[in-house]
């Protein structure tokens, strides 16, 4: 008996049936453009199909060169392309899955000199000014979309998704913000929505009745001069008439300054938009954004917010998500924590996507956890993310593993991270590993600070040292003053913090500690309405684009916070590409003051003394909190080597500079795969 009856109710589309209500949403992985990329991507999708996904939507494929997202991006415009895509569709069908190809024309988001758009207006997120499409260019673009759809059918796809949201070309035609044309594709709304309607109509005519057409409709643009709700509804109705099988929900343009998928966005924060659209349309609707666990998906379906759920990143984190849900094993799901660190950030850096909690994602052909031929007795010291990954993977492969930690609980620094408002999802990674330790029968010894002698007595064949880091203590006069606290004092030991605070260091932890100190009460990331208020989103949909004329209301910080760094330059420049701006924006709204280019001179009863631009200053504060980076913590290694034990060192314990959980888990997993 399933706990999730709505998820597992098949959906009959008339000519084909989806076996459940879960769609793997479109996600560019960068594999499309890699050597042997199609074989690799076929393996990646096939694992997800085997994992039970009802329908997969491929990453965006351009219909022509002008539509590229970046130079040489994947395209479907000739028979040569069909051959490559056949590798994907065959692999997915072999596993009993279905797959649609997303046709994406980037328009002015194209990061290349051939970009085109309804009007020659540069986007704030690409350095390339697009060319204005001539009327003949529009006709050619429609032909290319239709050609792409026909070729995708030839390649064995079960359908296409026409990407009409997130601010790409079609969206650019729809709204006045980007469409200043005076011809039949500009001016009135009727004209501006002409392109998507023609696209869907002509595609349907070309592919016949028995082919899925999903249209991704931008239901909430979240940018000035976007669509009004009435316009979105009008377009939705026309798209339905034009022949779409399913309408998917698009939330927010890429250039919107409102987060839509980051970890601080509450789960299911935008399904109310799809629910509102359900009152207007009769074809199945898909909802998306920050849905990562079966309980959330089931509730959305049960409450009638949508007919289908689209999740993208959760399938990087766990290819078996659907099968685990089917077996009522939610607690075994490796949950996507919405950090973006290994997926979106990689794509924007032109690297192959992967996943922080699952380094196998997009590396299915080269990173595998195969049964060991020689069982060993292995000790893992440290139960942070690295030690947890090493221990569970080594045990899964058949080794006998004992995991030690000095702390009373597993999780290492993630126990601090999960307390930051907006980072509650980090708890899920600890939950996942806790369950894996049981399933893989790892012996866990907590409250145990081990030394070399303990390990010698344990008769271990090999030891993995995953003891993480120790915080850096800067050499500033007065570091022993009682007002000085470390981030560990604040987050772990819960030492009281006063009303005026200086934070030394502006890396990830400096930002997180400032966010922690700037909030009071429950995190807005756990309350959709509170969060929407903080970001100025109008749930009544009376405001154009969901935001026009709405003032964001954020609770003031209970403290005055001053963040310091020695270097010049922007605060948060080293934070994640797709999330750094969110942290900066939140702290600015909380009136945190950023002070850079300083030298610290001393800390005493008067506060923090520092030099900036040659002048001496003193800031009176109640506390100075040190977040000045981290150092390796590998004290165990030398004594272990001295007694002749075979030692492997993981990350923090190895090189602490810029160590984060992504690197820690990746390195530990790769080590455990070969040990
Ligand atoms: P740790 O997590 O430090 O774990 C080491 C463990 O070893 C500890 O549990 C310790 O008790 C144990 N140990 C040490 N010595 C011994 C011994 N002799 N015997 C027994 N046990 C021992 N990273 C990201 O990628 N993204 C983020 O958003 C992010 N946010 C963060 C927010 C905060 C507030 C903090 C503090 C860190 C954050 N990090 C983040 C960093 C991330 O948590 C670390 O990079 C990661 O935890 C490192 O993993 P690890 O297993 O190497 O070490
Ligand atoms: P970090 O990112 O290296 O930042 C350290 C900060 O301390 C810098 O701002 C640095 O700025 C300052 N600093 C360095 N040496 C100093 C010294 N001797 N005296 C005074 N200030 C000094 O390290 P972190 O913030 O400790 O984070 C640790 C790891 O966790 C990082 O890898 C980080 O990526 C990861 N993390 C990631 C996130 C995330 O959201 N992705 C969040 C938290 C942590 P100046 O040199 O300019 O003073
Ligand atoms: Fe999710 Fe982070 Fe993995 Fe991306 S890297 S899939 S956001 S857990």
DSSP symbols for 70-104: STT--B--SHHHHHHHHHHHHHHHHTT--EEEEE-
Per-residue pLDDT averaged across 137-161, rounded? Answer: 98
Nearest CA to ligand 1 atom 4: 384
Per-residue pLDDT averaged across 630-649, rounded? Answer: 89
Who contacts 211 (Cβ-Cβ below 8 Å, separation ≥6)?
149, 153, 158, 159, 160
Distance CA 344, CA 204 (A): 32
- For residue 312, the CA-to-ligand 3 centroid distance in Å is 10
- What are the CA-CA distances from residue 310 to residues 104, 179, 498, 527 (Å)? 17, 29, 44, 21
**Tens digits of residue pLDDT in 259-297:** 999 999 999 999 999 999 999 999 999 999 999 999 999
pLDDT at 127 over 80: yes
- In SS3 terms, 106-174 reads as CHHHCCCCCCEECCCCCCCCCCCCCEECCHHHHHHHHHHHHHHHHHHHHCCCCEEEEEECCCCHHHHHH
* Element housing 446 (H / E): none
pLDDT of residue 33: 78
Share of the chain above pLDDT 90, in %: 94
Nearest ligand 3 atom to alpha carbon 337: 8
Per-residue pLDDT averaged across 145-157, rounded? Answer: 98
Per-residue pLDDT averaged across 391-403, rounded? Answer: 98
Q: How confident is the model at residue 448 (pLDDT cuts 50, 70, 90)?
A: confident
pLDDT at 164 over 90: yes
- For residue 356, the CA-to-ligand 3 centroid distance in Å is 6
pLDDT of residue 564: 98
As annotated, the active-site residues are: 168
- Cβ atoms of 37 and 31 within 8 Å: the answer is yes
Give Dmax (Cα) for the chain: 83
Who contacts 521 (Cβ-Cβ below 8 Å, separation ≥6)?
555
516: number of Cβ within 10 Å: 20
- Cβ atoms of 170 and 110 within 8 Å: the answer is no
- Tokens encoding 592: 């945190």
Nearest CA to ligand 2 atom 24: 629
- Tokens 């022993």 correspond to 480
SS3 484: strand
User: Roughly how many angstroms between the first and final C-alpha of the chain, as a whole number?
Assistant: 40
- Cβ atoms of 26 and 168 within 8 Å: the answer is no
Distance CA 387, CA 465 (A): 8
Ligand nearest to the CA of 469: 1
Per-residue pLDDT averaged across 161-183, rounded? Answer: 98
- Tokens encoding 633: 């913590």
Ligand 3 in contact with 338 (CB < 6 A)? yes
220: number of Cβ within 10 Å: 30
- What are the CA-CA distances from residue 398 to residues 87, 324, 372, 443, 673 (Å)? 33, 22, 6, 13, 11
Q: Where are the beta strands (DSSP E) in 313-430?
A: 377-381, 400-404
- Tokens encoding 616: 């001496």
Q: How confident is the model at residue 122 (pLDDT cuts 50, 70, 90)?
A: very high
pLDDT of residue 659: 79
pLDDT of residue 290: 98
- What are the CA-CA distances from residue 117 to residues 198, 226, 285, 475 (Å)? 17, 16, 28, 55
Q: How confident is the model at residue 19 (pLDDT cuts 50, 70, 90)?
A: very high
642: number of Cβ within 10 Å: 9
Nearest CA to ligand 1 atom 21: 405
- For residue 339, the CA-to-ligand 2 centroid distance in Å is 17
Quote the distance between the C-alpha of residue 44 and its chain's center: 18
pLDDT at 462 over 70: yes
473-520+555-628 belongs to CATH 1.10.150.120: no
Ligand 3 in contact with 313 (CB < 6 A)? yes
So where are the chain's domains? Answer: 11-322+335-348, 377-470+631-674, 473-520+555-628
Per-residue pLDDT averaged across 494-518, rounded? Answer: 98
- Tokens encoding 303: 């409450």
Of 204 and 32, the one with more pLDDT: 204
Distance CA 578, CA 273 (A): 24
- Tokens encoding 533: 């208020």
pLDDT of residue 279: 96
- For residue 587, the CA-to-ligand 2 centroid distance in Å is 17
pLDDT of residue 351: 93
Per-residue pLDDT averaged across 59-78, rounded? Answer: 95
From the number of C-beta atoms within 10 Å of its C-beta (0-12, 13-18, 19+), residue 296 rates as: middle
- What are the CA-CA distances from residue 466 to residues 404, 426, 671 (Å)? 10, 19, 11
pLDDT at 363 over 80: yes
- For residue 470, the CA-to-ligand 1 centroid distance in Å is 9
Ligand 3 in contact with 627 (CB < 6 A)? no
pLDDT at 201 over 60: yes
SS3 649: strand
* Element housing 529 (H / E): helix 528-534
Nearest CA to ligand 2 atom 42: 508
Ligand nearest to the CA of 333: 3
Nearest CA to ligand 2 atom 21: 628
pLDDT at 655 over 70: no
Ligand 3 in contact with 340 (CB < 6 A)? yes
pLDDT at 75 over 70: yes
- For residue 186, the CA-to-ligand 3 centroid distance in Å is 39
pLDDT at 458 over 60: yes
Distance CA 10, CA 184 (A): 42
pLDDT at 652 over 70: no
pLDDT at 157 over 70: yes
Distance CA 495, CA 493 (A): 6
Ligand 3 in contact with 665 (CB < 6 A)? no
- Tokens encoding 300: 């959305």
pLDDT of residue 598: 98
Q: How confident is the model at residue 185 (pLDDT cuts 50, 70, 90)?
A: very high
Q: Where are the beta strands (DSSP E) in 240-284?
A: 246-251
Q: How confident is the model at residue 653 (pLDDT cuts 50, 70, 90)?
A: low
SS3 318: coil
pLDDT at 101 over 60: yes
Smallest CA-to-CA distance from 387 within 338, 332, 450 is with 450
Nearest CA to ligand 1 atom 9: 412
Which of 151-155, 454-458, 590-594 has the least mean pLDDT?
A: 454-458
- Tokens 């922080």 correspond to 356
pLDDT averaged over every residue in the chain: 96
From the number of C-beta atoms within 10 Å of its C-beta (0-12, 13-18, 19+), residue 159 rates as: buried
**Tens digits of residue pLDDT in 288-331:** 999 999 999 999 999 999 999 999 999 999 999 999 999 999 99
**Tens digits of residue pLDDT in 215-268:** 999 999 999 999 999 999 999 999 999 999 999 999 999 999 999 999 999 999
- Cβ atoms of 87 and 42 within 8 Å: the answer is yes
SS3 203: helix
Ligand nearest to the CA of 428: 3
Per-residue pLDDT averaged across 94-123, rounded? Answer: 97
- Cβ atoms of 483 and 501 within 8 Å: the answer is no
The 8-class DSSP code of residue 258 comes to S
- Tokens encoding 440: 């893989």
Distance CA 100, CA 212 (A): 7
Q: In a mutational test of the pocket of ligand 3, which residue from 30, 59, 337, 363 has the highest number of ligand atoms less than 8 Å from its CB?
A: 337
Which of 97-101, 147-151, 380-384, 638-642 has the least mean pLDDT?
A: 638-642
Distance CA 443, CA 399 (A): 11
pLDDT of residue 634: 78
Per-residue pLDDT averaged across 508-522, rounded? Answer: 97
- Tokens encoding 26: 């479109």
Ligand 3 in contact with 559 (CB < 6 A)? no
The 8-class DSSP code of residue 62 comes to B
pLDDT at 35 over 90: no
Nearest CA to ligand 2 atom 5: 629
- For residue 574, the CA-to-ligand 2 centroid distance in Å is 9
Nearest ligand 1 atom to alpha carbon 386: 51
pLDDT of residue 490: 98
- For residue 345, the CA-to-ligand 3 centroid distance in Å is 10
- Cβ atoms of 53 and 38 within 8 Å: the answer is no
**What pTM was computed for the model?**
0.96
Domain 377-470+631-674: which topology? Answer: Rossmann fold (3.40.50)
Quote the distance between the C-alpha of residue 464 and its chain's center: 30
Ligand 1 in contact with 416 (CB < 6 A)? yes
Per-residue pLDDT averaged across 387-411, rounded? Answer: 98
pLDDT of residue 34: 83
Nearest CA to ligand 3 atom 1: 336
pLDDT of residue 651: 67
Give me the CATH code for the 11-322+335-348 domain, please.
3.20.20.70
Do the bridges between strand 17-18 and strand 11-12 make them parallel or antiparallel, or are there none, so unpaired?
antiparallel
- What are the CA-CA distances from residue 74 to residues 78, 152, 196, 623 (Å)? 12, 13, 22, 53
Ligand nearest to the CA of 474: 2
Q: How confident is the model at residue 650 (pLDDT cuts 50, 70, 90)?
A: confident
Distance CA 85, CA 156 (A): 8
pLDDT at 121 over 80: yes
Q: How confident is the model at residue 632 (pLDDT cuts 50, 70, 90)?
A: confident
Nearest CA to ligand 3 atom 2: 339
Nearest ligand 1 atom to alpha carbon 407: 11
Nearest ligand 3 atom to alpha carbon 343: 4
- For residue 424, the CA-to-ligand 3 centroid distance in Å is 14
Ligand 3 in contact with 334 (CB < 6 A)? no
Who contacts 129 (Cβ-Cβ below 8 Å, separation ≥6)?
115, 120, 121, 122
The 8-class DSSP code of residue 246 comes to E
Ligand nearest to the CA of 390: 1
């Amino acid at each position: 008996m399933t706990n999730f009856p709505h998820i597992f109710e098949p959906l009959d589309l008339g000519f084909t049936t989806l076996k459940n209500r879960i769609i793997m949403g479109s996600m560019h992985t960068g594999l499309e453009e890699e050597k042997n990329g199609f074989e690799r991507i076929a393996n990646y999708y096939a694992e997800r199909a085997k994992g039970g996904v009802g329908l997969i939507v491929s990453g965006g494929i351009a219909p022509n060169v002008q539509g590229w997202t970046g130079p040489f991006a994947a395209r479907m415009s000739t028979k040569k392309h069909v051959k490559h895509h056949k590798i994907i569709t065959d692999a997915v069908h072999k596993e009993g899955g279905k797959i649609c190809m997303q046709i994406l024309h980037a328009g002015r988001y194209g990061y290349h000199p051939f970009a085109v758009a309804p009007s020659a207006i540069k986007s704030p997120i690409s350095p390339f000014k697009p060319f204005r499409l001539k009327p003949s260019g529009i006709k050619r673009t429609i032909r290319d979309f239709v050609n792409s759809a026909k070729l995708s059918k030839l390649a064995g796809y079960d359908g296409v998704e026409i990407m009409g949201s997130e601010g790409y070309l079609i969206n650019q035609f729809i709204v006045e913000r980007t469409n200043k044309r005076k011809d039949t594709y500009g001016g009135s709304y009727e004209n501006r929505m002409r392109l998507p309607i023609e696209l869907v109509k002509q595609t349907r005519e070309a592919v016949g009745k028995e082919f899925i057409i999903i249209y991704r409709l931008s239901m909430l643009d979240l940018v000035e001069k976007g669509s009004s709700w009435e316009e979105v509804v009008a377009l939705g109705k026309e798209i339905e008439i034009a022949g779409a099988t399913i309408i998917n929900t698009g939330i927010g343009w890429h250039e919107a300054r409102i987060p839509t998928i980051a970890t601080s966005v509450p789960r299911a924060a935008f399904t109310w938009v799809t629910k509102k659209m359900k009152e207007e349309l009769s074809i199945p609707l898909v909802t998306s954004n920050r849905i990562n666990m079966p309980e959330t998906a089931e509730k959305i379906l049960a409450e009638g917010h949508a007919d289908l759920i689209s999740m993208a990143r959760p399938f990087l984190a766990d290819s078996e998500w659907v099968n685990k849900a089917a077996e009522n094993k939610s607690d075994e799901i490796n949950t996507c924590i919405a950090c973006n660190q290994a997926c979106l950030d990689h794509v924007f850096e032109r690297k192959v996507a992967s996943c922080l909690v699952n380094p196998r994602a997009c590396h299915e052909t080269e990173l595998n956890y195969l049964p060991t031929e020689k069982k060993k007795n292995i000790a893992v010291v440290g139960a942070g993310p690295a030690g947890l990954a090493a221990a569970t993977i080594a045990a899964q492969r058949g080794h006998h593993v004992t995991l030690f930690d000095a702390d009373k609980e597993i999780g290492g620094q993630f126990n601090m991270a999960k307390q930051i408002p907006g980072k509650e999802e980090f708890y899920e990674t600890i939950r996942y590993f806790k369950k894996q330790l049981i399933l893989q029968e790892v012996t866990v010894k907590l409250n145990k600070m081990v030394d070399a002698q303990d390990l010698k007595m344990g008769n271990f064949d090999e030891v993995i040292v995953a003891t993480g880091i120790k915080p850096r203590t800067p050499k500033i006069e007065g570091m022993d003053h009682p007002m000085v606290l470390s981030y560990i004092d604040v987050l772990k030991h819960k030492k009281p913090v006063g009303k005026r605070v200086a934070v030394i260091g502006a890396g990830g932890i400096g930002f997180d500690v400032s966010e922690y100190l700037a909030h009071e009460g429950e995190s807005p990331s756990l309350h959709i309405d509170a969060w929407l208020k903080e970001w100025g989103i109008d749930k009544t949909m009376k405001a154009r684009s969901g935001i026009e004329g709405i003032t964001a209301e954020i609770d003031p910080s209970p403290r005055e916070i001053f963040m310091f760094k020695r270097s010049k330059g922007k605060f948060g420049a080293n934070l994640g590409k797709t999330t750094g701006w969110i942290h900066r924006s939140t702290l600015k709204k909380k009136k945190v003051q950023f002070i850079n280019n300083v030298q610290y001179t001393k800390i005493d009863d008067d506060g923090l003394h520092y030099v900036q631009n040659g002048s001496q200053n003193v800031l009176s504060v109640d506390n100075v909190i040190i977040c000045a980076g981290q150092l390796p913590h590998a004290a165990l290694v030398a004594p272990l080597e001295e007694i002749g034990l075979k030692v492997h060192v993981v990350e923090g314990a190895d090189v602490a500079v810029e160590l984060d959980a992504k690197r820690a888990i990746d390195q530990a997993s790769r080590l455990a795969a070969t040990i």
